[in-house]
Amino acid sequence: GGGSREGKSGEKGKGEKEKGVVQEVTLIDSKKAQNIMIFLKRLKQHTPKQLGQAVLNMDLKIVTEIVAERFLEFLPKDNELKILQSYEDDGKPLRLAEQFLIEMTKIPRCRERLETIHFMQEFPEKRKGLDEEITIAIDSFEVLRDNEEMARVLELILTMGNYMNSGSFIGGVHGFRIGSINKLENTKASSRMSLLHFLARTIETKFPELKHFTVGLKTLEKGAKLSYQTLTETLTRTRTSLSTLRRLIATAESEGDESLASVLKEFCENATREFEEVEKKHEEMQGLYEGVARLFGEDPGKTCPEEFLGVFVTFFRSFQNATQDNARELERTRLLEKRKKQQEDRDMQIRQQNQQQRPSPPLVSKQHQQQPPQQQRHLTPPSTSLPTPSSHASIAPASETTPPSQPTFTPLPKFTLDLPEIFSSKDLAMDDLLESLKRGGPLLREEKNGNSGRRSFSPQFGMRKGSGESGRKVSGGFGDFAGEILARF
More confident residue, 129 or 3: 129
**Confidence at residue 252, expressed as pLDDT on a 0 to 100 scale:** 86
Residues near 315 by beta carbon (within 8 Å), at least 6 away in sequence: 181, 182
Judged against a pLDDT cut of 70, whether residue 2 lies above it is answered with: no
Phi, psi of 247 (to 5 degrees): -65, -40
Q: Where are the domains of the chain?
A: 2-107
- Reduced to 3 states, what is the DSSP secondary structure of residue 489? coil
Produce one character per residue of 374-405: b if its CB has 16 or more CB atoms within 10 Å, e if not. Answer: eeeeeeeebeeeeeeeeeeeebbeeeeeeeee
User: Which of 198, 202, 159, 154 is closest to 179 using CA atoms?
Assistant: 154
Judge if pTM exceeds 0.85.
Answer: no
Cβ(114)–Cβ(66) below 8 Å: no
Alpha carbon 117 to its chain's center = 39
Which of 21-30, 122-131, 387-396, 470-479 ranks highest by mean pLDDT?
Answer: 122-131
**Confidence at residue 21, expressed as pLDDT on a 0 to 100 scale:** 59
**Confidence at residue 364, expressed as pLDDT on a 0 to 100 scale:** 55
CA dihedral angle for residue 354, residue 359, residue 360, residue 366, rounded to 10 degrees? 150
pLDDT digits (tens, 9 = 90+) for 58-80: 899 999 999 999 999 999 998 88
Query: DSSP secondary-structure letter at 393?
Result: -
- Reduced to 3 states, what is the DSSP secondary structure of residue 414? coil
Separation between Cα atoms, residue 431 and residue 175, nearest integer Å: 23
More confident residue, 282 or 473: 282
Separation between Cα atoms, residue 417 and residue 434, nearest integer Å: 13
Cβ(134)–Cβ(286) below 8 Å: no
- As a whole-number percent, the residues of the chain with pLDDT over 90 amount to 38
Judged against a pLDDT cut of 80, whether residue 368 lies above it is answered with: no
More confident residue, 462 or 336: 336
Separation between Cα atoms, residue 107 and residue 59, nearest integer Å: 14
**Confidence at residue 439, expressed as pLDDT on a 0 to 100 scale:** 45
pLDDT digits (tens, 9 = 90+) for 404-440: 444 444 443 343 333 333 333 333 445 555 554 444 4
The lowest-confidence range among 137-151, 266-280, 468-482 is 468-482
Name the band, by pLDDT with cuts 50, 70 and 90, for residue 166: low
More confident residue, 187 or 54: 54
User: Which of 462, 483, 479, 466 is closest to 152 using CA atoms?
Assistant: 462
Q: Which helix (H) or strand (E) holds 113?
A: helix 110-145
User: Class for domain 2-107, per CATH?
Assistant: mainly alpha
**Confidence at residue 412, expressed as pLDDT on a 0 to 100 scale:** 37
Residues near 3 by beta carbon (within 8 Å), at least 6 away in sequence: none
β partners of residue 188: 194
